[in-house]
A and B are shown apart, each in its own frame.
Chain A
């Protein structure tokens, strides 16, 4: 069964460092997402990506964040200068799109710890 994969599973970084979180969505999917979940809190939408551009972003997704789909298979989230409050689980998701709505498939997540 196709699945969304994410690497690494756990990333530890120092405050102020850049991190890149990687995701490989399901191959025929068209819409891609990043969500985050701070420990003990709800899952929050960060950004959606369609047709090689951001289709929507939340207030959380400020200038420190960027997304890219560099090669048609990977989907990355970059945080330029990490802050302590960026520590969270980051989930990638994708949907097939099309005429009818389809479920979002989530990856297992990357736990980011900023020290």
Chain B
């Protein structure tokens, strides 16, 4: 069964530092890939997605992610962290040819931004 692994349940960075949140998926056929953000006591908001085409995907709030098939990875980055980036980040996939288009989520990474 398809699974998503997010390395690091907590990541702490200083304001202005690079943000790198890791995501790996388990599938021989690349799925559709997503990053969602969840602010405290709120729902899930799509940051970015990869379905086909260019492997470097730009999203909202200055985030981007690169799909690397050879590494089965879809890591999320932001060049310079802002205090408002503090939130929980979830990587998710929809398996290729999944007729229900359901999302399978990773366990999440809580991003802490230090002043």
Question: A residues near B, CB below 8 A?
Answer: 31, 33, 35, 41-45, 48, 50, 55-56, 91, 93, 95, 97, 100-101, 103-109
Contacts and interface: CB of A to CB of B under 8 A. Distances in A.
A45 B104 contact: yes
B105 A109 contact: no
- A interface, over-half SS: strand
B49 interface: yes
A45 B107 contact: no
Interface string B23-43: 000000000101010000011
Contacts of A105: 46
A12 B92 CA distance: 29
Given A42-B106, A103-B46, A106-B44, A55 B32 contact: no
A42 B108 contact: yes
Interface residues of B, number: 23
Contacts of A95: 101
A100 B11 CA distance: 34
A26 to B, nearest CB: 14
Nearest to B45: A106
B103 interface: yes
A101 B34 CA distance: 12
